[in-house]
Amino acid sequence: MAVTSTGVTVGTSITAVSGQFLAGKIVYLQSGTEGAATYVGGSDVSASNGILLSESNNAVFQTNADDVLYCISDTGGAVVKVLEVK
């Protein structure tokens, strides 16, 4: 089981933060920019339909091989902390 951690820069346009893999995986996401409202969801993620990421807690997703998670923020250059367990 491989574990990878990255910081993905997102901004006011939709950005992929966790892509497809050969098999399913568990993905942990956390907002890494103080004061930024950052949301996670599908390819159409927005403030009105996404899940708000916290700076102090993480959101956990179990994804299938072909799933992609996307984020968008109200702050340019906002960072999303991503930990993937593959």
Q: Thinking of the domain 3-85, which architecture would CATH place it in?
A: Sandwich (2.60)
Amino acid at 40: V
- Tell me the domain boundaries of the chain: 3-85
Give the predicted TM-score (pTM) of the model.
0.94
What is the arithmetic mean of pLDDT over 15-25? 93
Rounded to the nearest integer, the mean pLDDT of the chain is 96
Beta strands in the chain (DSSP E): 3-10, 15-18, 25-31, 38-41, 51-52, 59-63, 69-73, 78-85
Write out pLDDT tens, residues 49-79: 999 999 999 999 999 999 999 999 999 999 9
Give CA–CA dist 12/37, Å, rounded.
Answer: 10
Q: Count of CB atoms within 10 A of residue 60's CB?
A: 11
**Residue 55 per-residue DSSP state:** S
3-state secondary structure of 30: strand
